[in-house]
Amino acid sequence: MRRTVFAGGLVFDGTGADPAPADVAVVDGRIVDVGVGLDGDEVVDCAGLTLLPGLFDCHVHVTISGVDMLGLAQKPFSYQFYEAARNLRRTLELGITTVRDASGADLGIKQAVADGLISGPRLQISVSLISQTGGHGDGWLPSGHCVPLMVPHPGRPDARVDGPDEMRRVARTLLRAGADVLKVCTTGGVLSPRDDPRHSQFSPEELDVLVAEASRQGRSVMAHAQGADGIKNAVRAGIRSIEHGIYLDDEAIELMLAHGTWLVPTLVAPVNVIRAARAGAALPDAVVRKAEEVVEAHADSVRRAVAAGVRIAMGTDSGVGPHGTNLEELPLMAGCGMSPAEVLAASTSSAASLLGYDGELGRIAPGHRADLVLVSGSAFDLADLAGNIRQVWQDGVLVVDHTARGEVS
């Protein structure tokens, strides 16, 4: 088997340690050695570059390309699948080699990537967003029309439920459809004009059923959770990750620490809603107002969670904002008290742990899959990281090469 050595660069191994000089040897898509002076059949010259593990984004929506409601309603149904192919490619070009889709992508999109029909990060999928009637995922409007962000179809079942029995049925339906993780709304949200992010949704009994059904199939649950009460309901039920966490209070933070619950902040999400509105997107006034109201509270909550030691994994809610701009999240995380090394660890090894890829991804270490990102300049220059990416390797295969033209597309 051919042995490829990435030689002469610095290595950020994903643990949070500073980059250090090292070579990385890869055989058959796996890292087999990390050290100095390694030999190989093929050498990739990494002089002046830093190697990072493939990055993660733990919260994307690959079938959505912006939140202009009128624009979404005017697109042909199948158009979303072609947009997904473009969005996945743009994400891969940023060095993000693994994503968790937080509703939208179905099993066909995941399989198309896995089979090489389209290029993109490997996918974990939740298929549909579980919402109560009148909840964050219910697209009903006062006119009587229903305009969901993601229209149900055979591969993406309707996931509006009320009561424990319906929750059990929908959980099983989504698992049958190929969900790797189940996503539930335990609070209102910014994009749903007729609810409040601070108000809780679903009862503890309903959430207990959901977690039990997921656990029986070896799956976990992620929760869109913005208000403190809904966050605490999710944590007590055993939900693995809190998405957004805008209005954390001290009790919620203590519960997350006690349960080992992850926080996926998506700090850039409300910023992107405000940007879209200013650019002319057709959004209800209530949505724009809520986005403007939550930005500071969101940053303060994440800041306090970081200081307390809550486990953090990187996620962006891309789809709400443009795909291909995901790395804008990293400086925002640093602005909440994380060091650059901690931000990169949250985007690599910590994210891998959240998604169940321990020992497989998120580290540059023997035995791990050879997802590697080669960057120029300082890897800790988070604001310029996207522009400094030179190459992206996935399972030991070069999938993005910006060196040929010297610029990022």
The Cα 372–Cα 74 span in angstroms is 39
How would you write 188-257 as a 3-class SS string?
CCCCCCCCCCCCECCCHHHHHHHHHHHHHCCCEEEEEECCHHHHHHHHHHCCCEEEECCCCCHHHHHHHH
pLDDT computed for residue 259 by the predictor = 98
Q: What is the CATH number of domain 55-354?
A: 3.20.20.140
Looking at the predicted structure, is the pLDDT value of residue 171 above 50? yes
- How large a percentage of the chain has pLDDT more than 90? 91
Active site residue 317: yes
Please write the tens of the pLDDT for every residue from 35-79.
999 999 999 999 999 999 999 999 999 999 998 888 888 899 999
Please write the tens of the pLDDT for every residue from 80-96.
999 999 999 999 999 99
Q: What is the mean pLDDT of residues 154-182?
A: 98
Give the end-to-end CA distance of the chain in Å, rounded to a whole number: 33
Domain ranges of the chain: 3-53+362-401, 55-354
Looking at the predicted structure, is the pLDDT value of residue 408 above 80? no
The Cα 327–Cα 49 span in angstroms is 19
Please write the tens of the pLDDT for every residue from 103-148.
999 999 999 999 999 999 999 999 999 999 999 988 877 888 787 8
Please write the tens of the pLDDT for every residue from 237-276.
999 999 999 999 999 999 999 999 999 999 999 999 999 9
φ, ψ of residue 91 in degrees (nearest 5) = -70, -45
Q: Residue 104: which region, alpha, beta or left (left: phi > 0; alpha: psi -120 to 50)?
A: left
The crossing angle, in degrees rounded to 10, of helices 285-308 and 268-278 is 160
Q: Which of 183, 195, 290, 371 is catalytic?
A: 183
- Write out the two tokens for 98: 């693994």
Closest CA to 31 of 375, 346, 371: 371
Q: Which of 195, 229, 317, 371 is catalytic?
A: 317
Looking at the predicted structure, is the pLDDT value of residue 407 above 70? no
Which fold does the domain 3-53+362-401 belong to in CATH? Urease, subunit C; domain 1 (2.30.40)
3-53+362-401 and 55-354 have identical folds: no
pLDDT computed for residue 405 by the predictor = 55
Active site residue 232: no
**Is the four-CA dihedral 395, 400, 406, 408 of positive or negative sign?**
negative
Q: What is the mean pLDDT of residues 352-359?
A: 97
Please write the tens of the pLDDT for every residue from 193-233.
888 999 999 999 999 999 999 999 999 999 999 999 999 99
pLDDT computed for residue 144 by the predictor = 81
The Cα 56–Cα 97 span in angstroms is 6
Closest CA to 172 of 125, 219, 105, 223: 219
